[in-house]
Amino acid sequence: MPRRTPPPPRPATTVPGLVLVAVLLAHGWVLDAWSLPREGPVQAPRPLAITALPPPVQRPVPVREPAPEVAPAPLSQPRPETPPRPVRTSRPRPVAAQPPVVEASPVHDLAEDTPPALDAPVLLALASPGADPQPSPAAAPALTAPPSVRLHYRMAKGPLSGTGQIDWQRDADTYRMRLEARVPVFGQIFLETSTGRLDASGLAPLRHTERRVKRSERAVSFVRDQGPPRILFSARTGQAPLTPGAQDRLSWIAQLATRMAAPPDGPWRSGQRIEMDVASTGGDVQHWVFTVLGQDSAGLWQLRREPDSPHDTRAEVWVDPRLHHWPVRIRMGEPGSEPLELTLDPPRTPA
């Protein structure tokens, strides 16, 4: 009787294969979990609410009665011509007429006879009894951006952690800014850049780009010299008005440091606010208002940006005056999600 051949054994699942599947699943979960605060759905930009200032209060300015006009003294007139006396001779003959004797008039200063001019209206208001002095408004101090530097941050969002690096390069009238974030094993997770000009108002961005994992690069352009000032987006059609001092989602960090270095009226006080429009690559422009909360025992100024809507980004920033007011800590997030925190390592000067 022939002997039966046993069936071949089933291939066993290898341990390296299970490890590879687990790594791929973990990779997808980490990329979905590690992301910056959402920007919300792309919507048409809301028109900026511009509140007209009330007309200035016109105080009646007492007008001083003009001084009575004083007629200027007439110029000295030459003496009337005296006819010559006739000369009697035995033979009368015509006598040639002598030239008239004119007495020289003294030099006359017309300024002495000119009535005094009325004071300028401002001087009248200052000198009039009962009128409050009106000091001229002081010009806003010109803002100076911080010097070039490289900043290293420790990043954390829930159980995940990584590193971030900001490269800030300032020239005479231009700037370049770059932010890169990395996590172990997966490498770079997002990269942002901002380039533009520097003027008396601080940073004037021209272009902002953003690249994240699983997303193509998006950009924002600030058109300042061609036609009306406006903001253009690569993520959507249309445009938004460009207001003075508007920033992008990266340049606001350097603009905040620039503004904090130049208090408008003396040292900063709790309750004072710093406002700016911030454009995102998602296609919207939001009005950010940072409120100064105070200064702690370490000398750090704390500021907070409250969200405008339930799904908007809330930000808290701590800046150090000894480091040109660069943030030493940033905390950003939306309600109901893990916030993204950045903590500054000792700054380094770029090579």
Residue 204 scores a pLDDT above 80: yes
Query: Which of 140, 166, 139 lies closest to 152 in space, CA to CA?
Result: 166
User: Residue 51: its pLDDT value, please?
Assistant: 41
Query: In terms of residue numbers, what domain contains 261?
Result: 149-344
Strand partners, 277: 287
Q: Give the C-alpha distances (Å, rounded to integers) separating 187 from 163, 164, 184.
A: 10, 11, 6
User: Residue 142: its pLDDT value, please?
Assistant: 80
Mean pLDDT value across the chain: 76
For residue 348, what are the contacts with CB-CB under 8 A and spacing of at least 6? 149, 150, 151, 152
| Residue 99 covered by a domain | no
* Overall average pLDDT of the 17-32 stretch: 59
154-191 pLDDT tens trace = 999 888 899 999 999 999 999 999 999 999 988 999 99
User: Residue 346: its pLDDT value, please?
Assistant: 76
As a whole number of angstroms, the distance between CA 341 and CA 124 comes to: 59
For the full predicted model, state whether its pTM sits above 0.85: no
| Residue 23 covered by a domain | no
| Residue 57 covered by a domain | no
Q: With contact defined as beta carbons under 8 Å apart, do 153 and 161 qualify?
A: no
As a whole number of angstroms, the distance between CA 161 and CA 342 comes to: 10
Query: Which of 64, 57, 69, 68 lies closest to 123 in space, CA to CA?
Result: 64
Q: Structure tokens of 31?
A: 């990329």
| Residue 177 covered by a domain | yes
Residue 31 scores a pLDDT above 90: no
Q: With contact defined as beta carbons under 8 Å apart, do 270 and 293 qualify?
A: yes
Q: Which residue type is seen at 323?
A: L
| Residue 140 covered by a domain | no
| Residue 86 covered by a domain | no
Least confident of 46-55, 57-66, 147-156, 319-328: 46-55
Structurally, how many domains does the chain consist of? 1
First-residue to last-residue Cα distance in the chain: 86
* Overall average pLDDT of the 138-155 stretch: 87
| Residue 91 covered by a domain | no
* Overall average pLDDT of the 243-262 stretch: 96
Bridging pattern class, strands 273-279 and 247-248: parallel
| Residue 293 covered by a domain | yes
Grade residue 91 by pLDDT with cuts at 50, 70 and 90: low
* Overall average pLDDT of the 329-346 stretch: 89
77-88 pLDDT tens trace = 555 555 556 555
